[in-house]
Chain A
Amino acid sequence: MAAQPRPIHAEQTSYLEGGGIYGWLTTIDHKRIAVLYGVTAVFFMALGGFEAMAVRTQLMYPNNHFLSAQTYNQFFTTHGLTMIFLVIMPLETGFFGNFLIPLQIGARDVAFPRLNALSYWIFLFGAITLNLGWLYGGLPNGGWFGYANLTERYYSPGPNIDFFDLGLLVLGVSSVMSALNFFVTIINMRAPGMTFFRMPLFIWSILVTVILILLAFPSLTVGLIFLFMDRYFDTHYYRVIAGATPILWQHLFWIFGHPEVYIMILPAFGLISEVIPVFSGKPLFGYPMMVYAIIAIAFLSYGVWGHHMFATGMGPVADMTFSVTSLLIAIPTGIKIFNWLFTVWGGRLRFTTAYLFALAFVIQFTIGGLSGMMHASPPIDLEQTDSYIIVAHFHYVLGLGALFAILAGFYFYWPKVTGRMLSETLGKWHFWLAVWSFNATFFPMHFLGELGMPRRIYTYAPHMGWDFWNKWETWNAYIIALSFIPLLLNIYWSLTNGERATEDPWDARTLEWSVPTPPPIYNFAEVPTVTARDAFWVAKYGSVEASGLTQSAPAIAPALVDVSKIHIPAPSLYPLLMGLGIFGMALGMLIGWYRVIFTAMALLVFSAIAMAFEYPNWGEENPHAVAESFLGLDSRKVGMWSFIGSETVFFACLISTYMVYKSRSLGVYDAGILNIPLTSFSTFVLLTSSLLMVLALAAFQRDDHKWGTIWLIGTALFGCIFLGGQVYEFGDFWLEHGMVFNANLFSQCFYTLVGFHGFHVFIGVVWLLVMAFAGIFGKLNAKRSLAVEICGLYWHFVDIVWVVIFVLVYLMRTVKGA
């Protein structure tokens, strides 16, 4: 089971070489994982594009029946889900993020390479889950936002919404894992001298994006869990008849959904900010303001979700608040647009394909942003909501915005990824066809919206004034599809006959262009020391402001180091097996076959334990995480704190729901049933377990292995007593009082909240027992005490969540809910 660091062969110069198919399946190299994300996303882009073409063909003529209404609903829903979760996000963070983050910050890989591979496999299986409807039962059909209560089993009896629910849950796990990994990498693994304000803007954009993912996805997860319970356990989270409100889903969805818009657009900003300075021959104008603008946009993005809900009648106070915060976002966004323009202004412009796509992005995103401003005003929004103006708006932001930025990044980084140049002639054909067809398709949608055409409409009667523009848009949508033919030809031509790319074909500014093309598996033979922003440019020309003189070879001399000494973590099959386990569980849930669920769960647990002990020096694994740490902090500890931060939002959403639904609950059961004496005892038990945990840590830190192990076992034992109390309490409510899980809103919220906490305690007990066994077998000592400390952080977090639950749920049981 133990794997040794992989030897590097002197002739192995490119990350693309060697390993065969098994090498790709077991890879944990960030560049190969980037390629896997890229290829997968391109496949789904073709699928999503096909769905879009079918939708447009259906709308080409009035009273058209090219698709059935049911198929139309499935196609427009899956087109949205595919483009958001399986194309734009994986291309921006999965492909560009994975490929560029270590190269731009001067690192050899991400902080947790195996977690990175696991993220990809979970993403792939989540994508498959979302698309299982192609094979059985039909695709998701409730819109990408899946509004309740149309998603309830009563209204959507087929498996369509189950694919939506479980697919997004699985994809969410992947996104959070990736985000955590990238966050730790950027915070902790920068090269010496790479201070925050020397980081390339793409790194800033990814840093802020992953913070958004970590703190926004838990809200969606909670909403999806409620939906899952409604559909599988007959609870009533979104059922009015039980006193619930379907608006809860909208809040939980849009608390995630609006930051999600920035999750898709901020990396696009980052890519553009890399491309524009290089081809303008100038450094990025107003770099610090660009950074502050990204941070401001992200911060404000959490306070604007209500502008998606003006039509629900939130009242003037809420409307005004969300309107003001939404309008405020225009300020930092405007700063960015002007700074890109000032970067272009007075520059020595080189109109490459990448640059053209970047410039088109600036113009088109501005158009999309301006129409977005209109929707920040409640009266205007009320007229435009659910009309084709909204379709025009978000396609300008994401299609003509994010996708154009991705294409700019594609043309810019293709030589670095593959080692081959693309044809500029074919690239420009692609660009002009794309600019024409995208604008010709989506701009007239503003007109259709003003003419009253609703979005998501299956077909329409003639003489509504919509015929011409629908026909026009459909023909131009076909040209969008055709516009990708030059791109495909270009890729083929490049891979077969393309000119070999040098390290720095564009005379670029940042570190990724200083390494060989394609990069070697270890990225940097010698970890660079950064002395300024635009580090590579400064190394070539002396200062950030200097004009590039030539397109000569890099001035940085290759380091004379023995690359065979560089530590490269060994490949691992376990991430793929764990991904399969998660997929099997989702699949088993969908087909209701419990044997599949338990087999998959066993595979997951086996793979997780095997992966934990895969490296011989576990507990000290990942040496570059410590040795090359920018801040001197252990990456695992930074990762655990990031995870705890994300979990905090998860529990906040659960507690909020409990607080809201407590007073709405109908039926006989309410908080009066709660057993305060028993729970007070449990609270003392859990608090005492936390004491034992810190005593265990203190013992291991002073190398007292015996007492450390005893305290660990004690902590686990107290955790078991707490769980026993919870089991007794649940059993008493269920069997003695008849308060089943879905009895009413109170019962389901109580069981869900306290049950999820109990599940966290259970995971903690398992973790503690594993640590205790490690202690018994002498694997824990002062040097490895950090492993105990990280386990302890999780345990204490579970403790403080209980501190909150004990007060809000139990001791305030007589206080009326919200």
Chain B
Amino acid sequence: MSESAVEHVTAPAHHAAAESHHPTAVQYLVVAGILTVLTVCEIGVYYIPALQSVLVPLLLILSAGKFYLVAAYYMHLHFDSRIFSGLFFFPLTLAALILISLTLLLGFLAHHPGP
């Protein structure tokens, strides 16, 4: 990263402007509608016997969609400075890795230690 490359970032107006473009009330209502539909789908998937074999991937995809919508629109990550996205998604990635590691180490690998 060259020093000159980051010079322009010092202008406060740059980010202040980015923060001002929050969604309108109508957009919020649209997002709420989609969240409702996704939640209904989640509950539907849970109750439909034919989908039990793909329950886990379907639920993970649907909940990831809800997660993204709340973070991007209600928490404004889609509109705000990218710094905020970094402040959220870096710890989120680490949290996911911890979750996967612990379930593997104390679950699968504890029972299947390998050769």
A and B interact physically: yes
Q: Chain B contacts of A641 at CB under 8 A?
A: 84, 87-88
Q: Chain B contacts of A695 at CB under 8 A?
A: 25, 28
In the bound complex, how far is the Cα of B42 from the Cα of A803, in angstroms?
11
Contact A653 B114 (CB under 8 A): no
Q: Chain B contacts of A214 at CB under 8 A?
A: 91
Q: List 16 A-B contacts (CB under 8 A).
A: A245-B110, A631-B12, A631-B83, A633-B19, A633-B83, A645-B92, A651-B95, A657-B102, A659-B99, A676-B43, A680-B39, A687-B36, A789-B76, A793-B75, A806-B42, A811-B43
- A314-B105, A698-B22, A811-B42 known; A195+B6 contact, CB < 8 A: yes
Contact A660 B107 (CB under 8 A): yes
In the bound complex, how far is the Cα of B3 from the Cα of A193, in angstroms?
9
Partner of B95, one of A251, A648, A680, A818: A648
Q: Chain A contacts of B110 at CB under 8 A?
A: 245, 315
In the bound complex, how far is the Cα of B75 from the Cα of A505, in angstroms?
50
Q: How far is the CB of B85 from chain A (nearest CB, A)?
A: 9
> Which chain A residues have a beta carbon within 8 Å of chain B's beta carbons?
187, 192-193, 195-198, 214-215, 219, 245, 247-248, 251, 255, 302, 306, 313-318, 532-533, 629-633, 637-638, 641-642, 644-646, 648-649, 651-653, 655-657, 659-660, 663, 676, 680, 683-684, 687-688, 690-691, 693-695, 697-698, 701, 789, 792-793, 796-797, 799-800, 803-804, 806-807, 811-812, 814-815, 817-818
Interface residues of B in 57-108 (CB under 8 A from A): 59-60, 62-63, 66-67, 70-71, 73-76, 81, 83-84, 87-88, 90-92, 94-99, 102-108
Partner of B3, one of A198, A318, A680, A811: A198
Return the CB mask of B36-52 against A: 1 if under 8 Å, else 0.
10010011011000000
Contact A701 B105 (CB under 8 A): no
In the bound complex, how far is the Cα of B23 from the Cα of A697, in angstroms?
10
Q: Chain B contacts of A195 at CB under 8 A?
A: 3, 6-7, 9-10
Contact B91 A684 (CB under 8 A): no
Contact A697 B22 (CB under 8 A): yes
- A799-B70, A799-B74 known; A302+B94 contact, CB < 8 A: yes
Contact B6 A196 (CB under 8 A): yes
- A198-B3, A630-B10, A648-B95 known; A691+B114 contact, CB < 8 A: no
Main secondary structure of the interface of B (DSSP, over half): helix
Contact A656 B103 (CB under 8 A): yes
Q: Chain A contacts of B29 at CB under 8 A?
A: 691
Q: Chain A contacts of B24 at CB under 8 A?
A: 698
Q: Chain B contacts of A215 at CB under 8 A?
A: 91, 94
Closest 5 A-B residue pairs measured CB to CB?
A632-B12, A818-B107, A315-B113, A652-B95, A645-B91
**B63 and chain A: residue at smallest CB distance:** A807
Contact A645 B6 (CB under 8 A): no
Contact B10 A797 (CB under 8 A): no
**A649 and chain B: residue at smallest CB distance:** B95
Contact A649 B83 (CB under 8 A): no
Q: Chain A contacts of B97 at CB under 8 A?
A: 302
In the bound complex, how far is the Cα of B102 from the Cα of A747, in angstroms?
20
In the bound complex, how far is the Cα of B10 from the Cα of A315, in angstroms?
50
In the bound complex, how far is the Cα of B7 from the Cα of A314, in angstroms?
49
**B76 and chain A: residue at smallest CB distance:** A789
Q: How far is the CB of A70 from chain B (nearest CB, A)?
A: 33
Q: Chain A contacts of B56 at CB under 8 A?
A: 812, 815
Partner of B60, one of A655, A799, A807: A807
**B85 and chain A: residue at smallest CB distance:** A641
Q: How far is the CB of B19 from chain A (nearest CB, A)?
A: 8
Contact B10 A687 (CB under 8 A): no
Contact B87 A800 (CB under 8 A): no
Contact A687 B35 (CB under 8 A): yes
Contact A655 B99 (CB under 8 A): yes
Partner of A694, one of B28, B63, B107: B28
Q: How far is the CB of B36 from chain A (nearest CB, A)?
A: 7
Partner of B46, one of A251, A318, A676: A676
